[in-house]
A = this chain, B = another copy of it.
Amino acid sequence: MRVTLRDIAARAGVTKATVSYAMAGKPNVSEEMRARIVEIARELGYQPNVTARALSVGRAPTLALMVENIANPFYPEFALEVERAARERGHFLLICNTDADPEIGRHYLRRIAGQLSEGIVAMAGHLRIDDVVAVNQSGVPVVVCMWEEPEAAPPAPCVTVDFAHAAAVAAGHLLALGHRRIGVLVDGDEHELHHQRRLEGFLRTACEAGVIIDPRHIVRAPDTIAGGTDSARALLTAAPSLSAIFATNDLLALGALRAAHEMRIPIPGQLSVIGITDIRAASESYPALTTVAVQTREVATYAIDLLLGLIDGSIPADPPPLLVIPSPPELKVRESTAPPAKP
Contacts and interface: CB of A to CB of B under 8 A. Distances in A.
A54 interface: yes
Interface string A44-76: 010111111111000010101000001101011
B280 A45 contact: no
Contacts of A111: 50, 62, 92
A87 interface: yes
Contacts of A45: 134, 137-138
Interface string A182-219: 00000000000000000000000000000000000000
A103 to B, nearest CB: 11
Contacts of A75: 76
Interface string A269-288: 00000000000110011110
Copies of this protein, total: 2
A336 B184 CA distance: 30
A342 interface: no
Contact of A94 (B83, B96, B257, B262): B96
A169 interface: no
Nearest to A287: B261
20 contacts: A48-B110, A49-B115, A55-B55, A70-B70, A70-B79, A71-B280, A73-B76, A76-B76, A83-B97, A84-B99, A92-B107, A92-B108, A93-B97, A94-B96, A95-B95, A95-B96, A116-B116, A225-B284, A226-B284, A281-B281
